[in-house]
């Protein structure tokens, strides 16, 4: 290099320094492996610098390796980091590890017309700020590497508005669903009232319209068979006895249906009940009808419960009658009434076990269904309503009932009341 060229370059450098000091030219210095590099923005861009500094969004210029060449004051405020600590550092420091993974390919897309990404910006003290980053490749003279322009938008308010709108949408949806639910409840209530009225009409019809003719049938058959002046053939007398027996069975079925329909009419006023003494009372009431049967009933010490006394007695009567009925084919009926350990902190589990004929568990799903019977009516009488009534009462108390059995091995019924 000649002396004249050296003097010219020195004069150019001195002019640049003067322009920088006077504010005619903006400049920044970036420390690198090759030493400090000075990047300048010519005087024509000074107005753009003023415009960028007045923005309410962060504006940055980056190298391809994310080194920050320039950042405006707004970005420094966003990150609560002094501007002199921002410029020359890496933009990665403001991103979480997860966001850095998505940011790297974003830099590669800058040459393709720009790209955007949602990130959380780190700030001192561990706080974070939701932001949107928009980048685009820049072509600037004087840079050895390609540069990238970046705009950082604070999304805090936008996110708050979006969350508020989502909350309002969900609230409106909940109100709509609540209104629909209320409409359905009103509709179901009307249906229930209509059903109750129909049930009451049914009970009245069963109690009067069916029982009246049935009593006439039974009365006339008894009159015919009981009149000694009538010399009826044995075949005719047998037919009349069958008619009377069938009428009696129908009367018992009507009574069972009425009893079943009235279960829900009881207001469920619960009170403390001593279950053991109630079992003993029920057994004492049944003994006169058992004749000379050999029966052994043991009742363990049972914990008390809270129940409707009348409805609970109905449960005990049905279950004990069931145990006595299906064990009557044995030489000696053995019935054990006890409790099992509560499940998951619930109330006591009461059980009644017999040594009767039992049943196949494959048909257990029919056990508590109305009019379903697991044994031939010719072997064991019944209406098929008793266990259905028991289940309804137990469920009204918030409990459940189930059974375990095997053919010719007896059965055990379990129930809870809460």
pLDDT averaged over 10-residue windows placed end to end, the chain, 418 residues: 63 52 46 50 52 80 86 88 87 86 74 75 82 78 65 86 88 90 88 72 66 79 80 82 79 69 68 92 85 88 88 88 87 91 80 89 75 54 72 88 89 90
CATH number of domain containing 317 = 3.30.565.10
pLDDT of residue 17: 46
pLDDT of residue 240: 84
Quick one: 154 and 10 in the same domain?
Answer: yes
Quick one: 25 and 136 in the same domain?
Answer: yes
Whether the CB-CB separation of 78 and 154 falls below 8 Å is answered with yes
Alpha-carbon gap, residue 224 to 56, rounded angstroms: 109
pLDDT of residue 372: 56
Could you say which of 244, 261, 278 is where a domain stops?
A: 261
pTM: 0.46
Total number of domains constituting the chain:
3
**Would you call 234 exposed, middle or buried from its count of C-beta atoms within 10 A (0-12, 13-18, 19+)?**
exposed
CATH number of domain containing 87 = 3.30.450.20
pLDDT of residue 275: 93
Residue 402 structural domain: 263-415
Alpha-carbon gap, residue 247 to 378, rounded angstroms: 16
Quick one: 300 and 399 in the same domain?
Answer: yes
Quick one: 270 and 257 in the same domain?
Answer: no
Closest to 333 (Cα-Cα) out of 299, 296, 282: 296
b/e map 286-305, b = 16+ CB within 10 Å: eeeeeeeeebebebeebeeb
Could you say which of 160, 195, 221 is where a domain stops?
A: 160
- Token output for 97: 């590890």
Quick one: 339 and 382 in the same domain?
Answer: yes
Whether the CB-CB separation of 288 and 322 falls below 8 Å is answered with no
- Token output for 288: 């006169």
Closest to 310 (Cα-Cα) out of 349, 268, 339, 345: 268
Quick one: 14 and 152 in the same domain?
Answer: yes
Quick one: 349 and 380 in the same domain?
Answer: yes
Residue 363: count other Cβ atoms within 10 Å of its Cβ.
11
pLDDT of residue 416: 92
Quick one: 299 and 394 in the same domain?
Answer: yes
pLDDT of residue 319: 92
Q: For 123-260, where are the E strands, in sequence order?
A: 128-138, 147-154
Could you say which of 117, 138, 160 is where a domain stops?
A: 160
């Amino acid at each position: 290099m000649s002396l004249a060229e050296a003097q010219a370059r020195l004069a150019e450098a001195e002019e640049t320094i003067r322009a920088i000091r006077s504010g005619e030219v903006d400049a920044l210095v970036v420390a690198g492996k090759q030493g400090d590099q000075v990047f300048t923005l010519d005087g024509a861009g000074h107005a753009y610098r003023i415009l960028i500094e007045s923005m309410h969004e962060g504006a940055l210029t980056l190298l391809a390796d994310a080194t920050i060449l320039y950042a405006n004051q707004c970005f420094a405020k966003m990150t609560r980091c002094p501007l002199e600590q921002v410029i020359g550092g890496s933009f990665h420091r403001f991103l979480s590890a997860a966001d850095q993974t998505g940011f790297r390919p974003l830099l590669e897309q800058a040459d393709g017309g720009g790209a955007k990404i949602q990130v959380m910006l780190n700030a001192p003290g561990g706080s974070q700020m939701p932001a949107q980053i928009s980048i685009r490749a820049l072509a600037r003279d004087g840079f050895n590497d390609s540069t990238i322009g970046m705009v950082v938008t604070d999304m805090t308010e936008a996110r708050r508005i979006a969350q508020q709108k989502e909350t309002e949408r969900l609230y409106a949806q909940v109100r709509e669903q609540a209104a629909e639910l209320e409409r359905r409840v009103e509709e179901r209530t009307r249906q229930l009232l209509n059903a109750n009225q129909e049930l009451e009409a049914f009970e009245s019809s069963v109690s009067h319209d069916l029982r009246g003719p049935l009593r006439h049938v039974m009365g006339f058959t008894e009159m015919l068979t009981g009149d000694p002046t009538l010399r009826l053939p044995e075949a005719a007398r047998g037919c009349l006895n069958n008619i009377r027996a069938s009428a009696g069975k129908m009367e018992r079925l009507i009574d069972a249906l009425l009893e079943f329909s009235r279960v829900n009419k009881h207001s469920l006023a619960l009170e403390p009940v001593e279950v053991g003494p109630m079992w003993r009372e029920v057994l004492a009431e049944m003994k006169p009808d058992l004749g000379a049967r050999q029966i052994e009933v043991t009742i363990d010490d049972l914990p008390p419960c809270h129940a409707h006394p009348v409805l609970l007695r109905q449960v005990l009567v049905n279950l004990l009658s069931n145990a006595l009925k299906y064990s009557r084919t044995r030489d000696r009926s053995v019935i054990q009434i006890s409790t099992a350990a509560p499940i998951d902190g619930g109330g006591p589990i009461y059980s009644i076990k017999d040594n009767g004929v039992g049943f196949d568990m494959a048909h257990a799903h029919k056990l508590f269904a109305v009019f379903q019977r697991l044994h031939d009516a010719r072997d064991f009488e019944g209406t098929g309503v008793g266990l259905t009534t028991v289940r309804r009462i137990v469920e009204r108390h918030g409990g459940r009932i189930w059974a375990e059995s095997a053919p010719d091995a007896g059965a055990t019924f379990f129930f809870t009341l809460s």
